[in-house]
Amino acid sequence: MRIGLILLSILALAGCGDTQHAAYLVAGPQHSLTLTRQQAFIGSEWDTELIVARFPECQRRYPMKEMATDAVKIDVYRTEPGVFILNSGKRWYVTETRSCRLEQFKDAPPAPGDLIGRFQFRDGTIEYKSLEAPTSAGKP
């Protein structure tokens, strides 16, 4: 009986999926872009979402249904403070943290802004890699 309960517990835990997060903090912890991947159970498809947040005013989740889950790569461009252009393959999005919205462009924008970083799938997890030069404390 005891072995049966142990095996049942192991099977229940093995059925659990996984969740992965990578965040870019726009202006401290109040403004952020977070990419998440969730898997309902091991072996199932990944659901990818972008969370746009400006605490405490707003936080919204946007499904990224067309995202290739094993090859996530989203370039992040800044056009002005709080406004970002995201690129994943042929898909282009604009997001901003003032009202936490996200919209997809019909065509690629002519000038997406400064490339500041990239969400990417690496070594089995999602990470955000900043391409901005580090600033010294106290200097703009």
List, in sequence order, every residue forming a beta bridge with 38; answer none if it has no partner. 19, 47
Residue-range domain boundaries for the chain: 15-130
- DSSP letters, 102-128, are EEE-SS--S---EEEEEEEEETTEEEE
Q: Tell me the whole-structure pTM to 2 decimals.
A: 0.76
Kindly give the confidence (pLDDT) of every residue in the chain, 140 residues in length, as a single tens digit, with 9 standing for 90 and above.
Answer: 554 434 334 434 444 556 676 677 776 668 899 888 887 778 777 788 899 999 889 999 999 877 655 667 899 999 998 899 999 888 999 999 989 999 999 888 888 999 999 998 888 788 899 988 765 544 44
